[in-house]
Structure 1
Amino acid sequence: MGGGELPKIPDWRIYTIGEHCPELQHTQRMLKSVGLSDPWLRNEVWRYDRRNPKIPPPNVRFMDAIGLKPLKLGIGLAIISASIKYYLNSGHGHGQEHH
Structure 2
Amino acid sequence: MHLSLGLSSVKVNWKCPDWRNYKVEHPILVRHVKRLQALGLKDPWVRNYAWIYSPNVYRTPLQLCTTIFFKRFPHGFALAVAYTFAQSAFLKWYNDNGYGEAHAH
If the length of structure 2 is used for normalisation, what is the TM-score?
A: 0.46
- Bigger CA radius of gyration: 2
If the length of structure 1 is used for normalisation, what is the TM-score?
A: 0.48
Structure having the larger proportion of residues in helix? 2
